[in-house]
Copies of this chain bind each other. A is one copy, B any other.
Amino acid sequence: MARRTGSDGARTREAIRAAARRLIARVGYEAVSMRRLAEEVGVGAAALYRYFPTKQAILFDLLRTHMDDLLTAWGAARPPETGPPPDRLDAFARFHIRYHLDRPDSLFLSYMELRSLDAANFTVIEDLRRSYEYEIAEIIAAGIANDDFRPQDPRVTARALIAMLNGLPVWYRDGGTLDRTDVEKLYISMVAGLAGTAAKPEHQETACFTPA
């Protein structure tokens, strides 16, 4: 059977993506066979090759698409660079948390399956990742220059911050004792503390007498 109503190529392609994302996130790229993936889609294994030339191409498509979408979404949500760095950092953290709580499998793949990419594909994804990391490092640097944040290495802080935030979707599940609003609040305050925002405006300059 072919081209039956409501099941065109584009739809099948997206079904493959979704099944691959789910399966690979659960058991890993190497542990998912093309036959198993095809079964999940409801199709013969050979059919997959109409949409992706190799198994590797499926993984690369997932990672590449995820990083592209992430960067595009941040480009749209990003506050102006002229704003106060603490606010910019806050906006970033909220964006990152919300975006990835909606896409835990993609986040998982992006970090666990990098090593399953061949050299050329790896370079592409790593560059995209670096450009995302740079966005945060720039905010941190601006905050340090502005005396909003504790002096520190912006790139190291950016990495630490991302690592911390990425840990959230690993354990968070909807329907637990904490909902998304709760965990967002908790992580936002940890982000601020990690960067060193806390001490300045209220506690140090307005709650204390400044002797000069």
Give the secondary structure class of A's interface: helix
Tell me if A208 and B204 are in contact (CB < 8 A): yes
Q: Which positions in A face B, CB cutoff 8 Å?
A: 26-31, 112, 115-116, 150, 152-153, 156-157, 159-164, 166-168, 170-171, 178, 183, 186-187, 189-190, 193-196, 198-199, 203-204, 207-211
Q: Who on chain B is nearest to A209 by CB?
A: B209
CB neighbours of A153 from chain B (8 A):
178, 186
Number of this chain's copies in the complex: 2
CB neighbours of A199 from chain B (8 A):
198-199, 203-204
Tell me if B171 and A167 are in contact (CB < 8 A): no
Q: Who on chain B is nearest to A151 by CB?
A: B189
Known interface pairs A193-B150, A208-B209, A209-B209; A115-B28 also in contact (CB < 8 Å)? yes
Question: Could you list 17 further interchain pairs (A-B, Cβ under 8 angstroms) beyond the known A157-B190, A194-B194, A209-B211?
Answer: A27-B115, A28-B29, A29-B30, A30-B30, A112-B112, A152-B186, A156-B178, A156-B187, A159-B171, A160-B164, A160-B187, A163-B163, A163-B166, A163-B167, A193-B195, A196-B198, A199-B204
